[in-house]
Amino acid sequence: MADNDRDLGMNANITRRDFVHGVAAGAAVSAGAVASSVSARAAAHTATQDAKAYPPLRNGMRGFHPGAFEPIHALAWSGIAPPDATFDGETYDLVIVGGGLSGLASAYYYRKQAGPSAKILILDNLEGIGGHAQRNEFEYNGHVRYTAGGSGYIVSPSQWSREARIILDDLGIARNPRRDRTDVNFYKSLGMSGAVLFPDSKFGANTLVHGSLQNPTPEFLHNAPLSDKLKADLVKLYHGKTDYLAGKTDDEKYRFLHSISYRDYLLKVVGISEDSLQFVKGVWCVGLDMGTAWFAFFRMRPGFDGLGLKVPDKSPESEEAELDDYELPAGNSDVARLIVRSLIPDALPRGDMFDIAEARLDYTVLDRASNATRIRHSSIVYDVRHVGPQPYMFQPEGRIVQVSYLKDGKTIAVRGANVVLACMNNVIPHICPGLPALQQKALTTAIRAPNQMTNVLFRNWKPFVEAKVAGVTSPWTFYGSMGLARPRYFGTVKPAQSPDEPIIVSFGTGGISGILTNTNMVRGLCGEATPQPGTSGDEQFKAVRRGLLATPFETFERAVRTLSTQVLAGTSFDPAKDILAVTVNRWSHGFATGLNDLFDKDYQAGMLPPTVVARQKFGRITIANSDAGGTSTMQTAFEQAWRAIDDLQSKSYGFYEHI
């Protein structure tokens, strides 16, 4: 091991490498061995059996974890399918492929419609519930800490459709200031604030400067080791009021901004340097070259303040929208847990969302034979097809659907009177080959943006107090940001109140969790295969996805330790002792994205969007996912689930639009 890795604590025994289904690959692990592997210094930590029975406790590479996707990749990339499965008589009224928010919502709507006796089976490839809405949990010396491992918040719930709001209202998911508050002054009272790290790899020495790149004050600029040109660019970006399109009408400005990438706008119109692009990051989950300047303006990115244009209503970055957004302590996994309890009451104790915030979901009851709804995890579906001849025109669709899946190395087939495919669109043509060719083509256009969320358990946060930082950004590093968990009081849950207590530190890309917003992470994942600026958005998503799946856990761990050591230099921080567990939530197929006017030149107004073609009913099979709506929000997931269940209802009255 290199001396630098040893200094970073890469030889420390934490829970991290090569874990599949909670067991170290190729090794027999005892409870004592795992307890010590979490931390050699820990008197008490998570036991093996806890992590095996309760997936949120598992560390290492999570999200699309090892064992969750390889058979589907073999099928899609090489045409290698698992052996045929034999049907053994297991039959349901509804089989749902995918246990994310769309799949859980489909079960919820079907249950309300079909009644309590209807038999439902949910099959999911991951080990934890919720799809992208995962919960990360850590336990150390009697302290339990948890946070979101995937989709993080409920977007503008006041704007939701009636159908989507049914679930929030039924489950009692709503703000309650008496039981939910964040102490926004807590870290400030300890003399802590935000800071920017200027790393030695770029600036010759590690320099931590308190302040923000998004609000470059004179004091910050004085202390920042930036050239005069970079300082001028930073001020121009975030404080500038120049109308770079002077002389154009509002309509001409709109058309111009809609015709050029945000990257080209910054370089060619605003006039900043290539090096200054690091100050901006991307827009939402895409890089600067992957969206129009108009999209960047709508999402309130810098460089437009002097144009005199009004931002269209409903921008997600508007003050109104941000006040409407609602984030639960473990993100959208908290919503997934409540839906599961509504379907399987024994899965969680009674009580509202505040009462059960710390309660652990009982995974042992999810696939109980006596349940009206069963959830079966680590089940990779590879074939979905109708059984029997296709009915003639005007004949009712009475065929049953067989669903074949792989679990624990065995191929198994179940049948359903109805099936909802609540998995990703780009998987569906491979597992349901009987779909019409036009629909299959439309399904393949759904290319998702890869993203990641890394959560790290620190033994304590005294070094942060010593460094006087609560959060740090660094656009020049693999992880563009790291920050302490917010001091939030939620029901009976209390935050880490003493610096001596363990705390979760989250490591992000520097902006939102889309990897393409951080060119340093992209280069770290892709190496020589890093896409060049101007490459189509879909090709960039694919390149980063390949890099993400090929990158070992150690790369992320090393980056965590490196950034932590740089930020906390000169404090009591010891990376070998103070980092107890690392959880990398790898979402190679992350945010659903729709059409992009920079690259989708073939689409014209009046054409049927591919999302509509892709989600059409096929016999007794319907499709529900965020891809079907083209936007990556919980509202979309719920609305598409409602539509998919509604599509399953018989609506033949003897009259047809096609004769």
For a pLDDT cut of 90, what percent of the chain falls above it?
Answer: 87
For residue range 84-108, what is the model confidence (pLDDT) as tens digits? 999 999 999 999 999 999 999 999 9
Question: What pLDDT, on a 0 to 100 scale, did the predictor assign at position 657?
Answer: 76
pLDDT over 80 at 656, yes or no: no
Instruction: Name the nearest CA neighbour of 512 among 453, 594, 566, 443.
Output: 453
Question: What pLDDT, on a 0 to 100 scale, did the predictor assign at position 47?
Answer: 38
- Looking at the DSSP assignment, which residues form a beta bridge with residue 622? 420
pLDDT grade for 42, boundaries at 50, 70 and 90: very low
Residue 364, phi then psi, degrees to nearest 5: -70, -15
**Maximum C-alpha span of the chain:** 79
Residue 142 carries which DSSP code?
T
Q: Judge contact between 55 and 364, C-beta under 8 A.
A: no
Stretch 289-297: mean pLDDT: 97
Question: What pLDDT, on a 0 to 100 scale, did the predictor assign at position 350?
Answer: 97
Domain positions in the chain are 84-132+329-440+605-647, 227-321
d(CA 372, CA 412) in angstroms, rounded, equals 20
Q: Judge contact between 158 and 434, C-beta under 8 A.
A: no
d(CA 287, CA 364) in angstroms, rounded, equals 42
Rg of the chain's alpha carbons, rounded to an integer? Answer: 25
pLDDT grade for 34, boundaries at 50, 70 and 90: very low
- Tokens representing 327? 């984030």
Across the chain, mean pLDDT equals 92
Selected from 1.20.1250.20, 3.50.50.60, 3.40.50.300, 1.20.90.10, the CATH number assigned to the domain covering 84-132+329-440+605-647 reads 3.50.50.60
pLDDT over 90 at 24, yes or no: no
d(CA 265, CA 376) in angstroms, rounded, equals 49
pLDDT grade for 659, boundaries at 50, 70 and 90: confident
Whole-prediction pTM value? 0.93
- Tokens representing 342? 């509504």
For residue range 52-77, what is the model confidence (pLDDT) as tens digits? 899 999 999 999 999 999 999 999 99
* Beta-sheet strands, E only, within 318-397: 373-376, 380-387
What DSSP string runs through 22-35?
TEETTS---HHHHH
pLDDT over 60 at 369, yes or no: yes
pLDDT over 50 at 26, yes or no: no
d(CA 317, CA 156) in angstroms, rounded, equals 11
Stretch 26-50: mean pLDDT: 33
Question: What pLDDT, on a 0 to 100 scale, did the predictor assign at position 504?
Answer: 98
For a pLDDT cut of 70, what percent of the chain falls above it?
Answer: 94
Question: What pLDDT, on a 0 to 100 scale, did the predictor assign at position 43?
Answer: 28
pLDDT over 90 at 38, yes or no: no
Question: What pLDDT, on a 0 to 100 scale, did the predictor assign at position 15?
Answer: 59
pLDDT grade for 22, boundaries at 50, 70 and 90: very low
Q: Go through the chain and tell me how many residues it has.
A: 659
For residue range 595-636, what is the model confidence (pLDDT) as tens digits? 999 999 888 888 899 999 999 999 999 999 999 999 999 999
pLDDT grade for 566, boundaries at 50, 70 and 90: very high
